Amino acid sequence: MINSEQHVTVKNNNNKHMKSVFAFFLILLFIAPNYSQTMETIYLYPDKVPNEKEEKHDSIVSADHSNNVTRLADVTNPAIMVFKPKETLNNGAAILVCPGGGYNILAIDLEGYEIAKWLNAMGFTAFVLQYRVPNKQLGALNDVQRAIKIIRSKSDLYKFNTNKLGLMGFSAGASLAARASTLYDEKSYADIDDIDLLSSRPDFALLIYPAYLDMGENNILTPELDINGSTPPMFLFATADDPYANSSLVMVTALRNANIPVELHLLAKGGHGYGLRLGNIAAETWPKLAENWLNKVIEKE
C-alpha cells in the first residue's frame, strides 16, 4: 500500500519568506506573456472511464491549501489541460506533466500549472494531466497511457513533432511517468477508438524528486518497471535529504545497466515537494539543469 507523501518545504524566517514569494510572482509575471491565456481541457474518455467504479464528476479541490498549494482531492473524469507557448517560441516539442501527491491528491498548481508555464517560456507545448485519485494506481496508468496517445493524435493541431513528446513527473507523478516510460507495451485498458492504435511510449522523461521506484524487496527497483533497450532517455533530480531519494538511485542504476542514456543530479539538501518555487536551493537548481538536458534531447530527436 502506498502511503500519502508529504510536501516538505524549507523553513525560512518571515523576511526570507516574503522575499521568496515576491520573487516567485516576478517569475510568473515574466513567464505569463510567453504562453496562451486560453487554457483548453481535453477529457480522456468519451464514455465510460475504464477501471472506474464512480460516475464522472468535476474534480474536487481539497480544503487543504497549506504551503499555498492547490490540491485536487478526487478525480473521476481524467483530463489534460493544454498550455500553448507563443507561436514565435514554439520549438516543435511537447511535454505531458504529471503532478505528484502520493497517488492521493494532485498538487495541481505547484507541480502542474506552474511547470507548464515554465515549459511554455522555453517553447514547449505543455499538457498537465489530471489523473485519477485517490488511491487509483491502475486508473492513473490508464490515464497517462491514454493521454500520451491523445496528445500524439493532435500533433498537427498543436504544431509539434510526434517524435518529440516527453513526460515530466514530480514525486508520485514521477512514479507514474516512470511506469508509463517502461510499461508502454502493456495495454492497461481495452482499446476505445482509433486513438488507442497509437503508441503510448514517451520519447524522453524527466523524473523530479521521484518516489515509489524502490518498492522491490530490500528497497530495490519496483518490480513492475520493465527497463530494456527501448526505454526512453531520462533525467532525474533529487536531494540526499529527501526521504524518497533512493528511488532516483535505483532507477539510475537500472537505466545505466540497460545502457539507456540517463542524467542524475543529487543535491545535499532541498527535501521534497518544492516544485520550482524560489526559496529552496533545489527548486532554484533543477530547472536550469533540466532545460540544458531538454535542449540536447530534442535536438537529437
* pLDDT tens string 157-211: 999 999 999 999 999 999 999 999 999 999 999 999 999 999 999 999 999 999 9
Give the mean model confidence (pLDDT) for residues 101-120.
98
pLDDT class for 155, splitting at 50, 70, 90? very high
User: What is the predicted pLDDT for the residue at 38?
Assistant: 53
With beta carbons less than 8 A apart as the criterion, state whether 216 and 227 touch. no
CA 143/CA 129 separation, integer angstroms = 8
Q: Specify whether the backbone of 171 is left (phi greater than 0), alpha (psi in -120 to 50) or beta.
A: left
User: What is the predicted pLDDT for the residue at 28?
Assistant: 45
pLDDT class for 291, splitting at 50, 70, 90? very high
**Domains present along the chain, CATH in parentheses:** 14-300 (3.40.50.1820)
Average pLDDT of the residues of the chain: 90
Q: Specify whether the backbone of 56 is left (phi greater than 0), alpha (psi in -120 to 50) or beta.
A: beta
Give the mean model confidence (pLDDT) for residues 2-19.
40
pLDDT class for 301, splitting at 50, 70, 90? low
Give the mean model confidence (pLDDT) for residues 36-50.
85
User: What is the predicted pLDDT for the residue at 37?
Assistant: 44
Assess whether pLDDT exceeds 50 at residue 4. no
Better-scored residue on pLDDT, 301 or 119: 119
Assess whether pLDDT exceeds 70 at residue 45. yes
User: What is the predicted pLDDT for the residue at 34?
Assistant: 44
pLDDT class for 114, splitting at 50, 70, 90? very high
pLDDT class for 39, splitting at 50, 70, 90? confident
User: What percent of the chain clears pLDDT 90, i.e. is strictly above it?
Assistant: 86
Assess whether pLDDT exceeds 70 at residue 111. yes
